[in-house]
């Protein structure tokens, strides 16, 4: 661990491990208290979901849709939730294209830990970036200009979501 930014990330990892060891869902805990990801930048907060900028993104605009109700993965969503979740992901992808100039947005729903809580990751691809699944595992970096990125995504998502 040689980079300063990796220390707070490791602290987040340790908090998650400690909660998981107690049988506590860290996402539910964070949605209740904000204590797991205290530096998280929220782009949009809805009764059903929250749209956050990844703190250690794989690329600019790496965004996470966290479903508020505890569902261990997308296959547990009820019929109305399924429709709403896809509407959210579509609006978020369009917002990332509109706000940040992404050419394409990849969608990932993994939820593969010990205690899973449904979230969708969106990976923008920009003009000139190589295509393909390696974008899913690009190295993480500290977010640059996260407040400005969040403001741009918030404005674009808000316009799309209210109009949806
Ligand atoms: Zn949960």
Q: What angle do CA 96, 164, 42 make, to 5 degrees?
A: 45
Q: How far is the centre of ligand 1, averaged over its atoms, from the C-alpha of 160 (Å)?
A: 27
Q: How far is CA 105 from the centre of its chain?
A: 13
Could you tell me the distance, in angstroms and rounded to a whole number, from the CA of residue 75 to the centre of ligand 1?
15
7: in domain: no
Average pLDDT on 62-73 reads 97
Is 11 among the domain residues? no
Phi-psi region of 137 (alpha: psi -120 to 50; beta: other; left: phi over 0): alpha
In whole angstroms, give the CA distance from residue 120 to residue 18: 23
Range of 132's domain?
40-163
Q: How many domains does the chain have?
A: 1
Residue positions counted in the chain: 164
SS3 144: coil
Q: Ligand 1 centroid vs 128 CA: distance in angstroms?
A: 37
State pLDDT tens for residues 28-55.
999 999 999 998 999 999 999 999 999 9
Residue 47 lies in a domain: yes
The interaxial angle of helices 146-163 and 79-100, nearest 10 deg, is 130
Q: Where are the alpha helices (DSSP H) in 101-145?
A: none
CATH of the domain at 133: 3.30.428.10
Instruction: Report the alpha-carbon distance of residue 127 to residue 161 in Å, rounded.
Output: 25
Query: In this predicted model, what pLDDT tens digit does every residue of 109-137 receive, in sequence order?
Result: 998 878 999 999 999 999 999 999 999 99
How far away, in angstroms, is 3 Cα from ligand 1 center? 30
Q: Is residue 22 part of a domain?
A: no
93 found inside a domain: yes
Measured in Å, residue 98 CA sits from the centre of ligand 1 at 31
- In a domain, residue 1? The reply is no
CA 69 – ligand 1 centroid, Å? 7
Angle at 140 between CA 158 and CA 65, to 5 degrees: 30
Q: Is the pLDDT of residue 1 over 60?
A: no
Could you tell me the distance, in angstroms and rounded to a whole number, from the CA of residue 26 to the centre of ligand 1?
7
């Amino acid at each position: 661990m040689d980079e300063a930014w990796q220390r707070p990330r490791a602290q987040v990892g340790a908090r998650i491990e400690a909660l998981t060891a107690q049988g506590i869902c860290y996402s539910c805990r964070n949605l209740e208290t904000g204590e797991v990801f205290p530096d998280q930048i929220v782009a949009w907060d809805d009764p059903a979901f929250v749209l956050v900028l990844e703190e250690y993104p794989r690329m600019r605009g790496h965004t996470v849709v966290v479903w508020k109700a505890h569902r261990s993965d997308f296959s547990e969503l009820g019929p109305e939730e399924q429709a709403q979740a896809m509407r959210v992901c579509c609006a978020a992808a369009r917002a990332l294209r509109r706000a940040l100039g992404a050419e394409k947005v990849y969608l990932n729903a993994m939820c593969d830990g010990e205690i899973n809580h449904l979230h969708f990751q969106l990976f923008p691809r920009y003009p000139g970036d190589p295509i393909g699944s390696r974008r899913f595992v690009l190295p993480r970096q500290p977010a640059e200009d996260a407040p400005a990125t969040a403001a741009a995504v918030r404005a674009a998502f808000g316009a799309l979501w209210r109009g949806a």
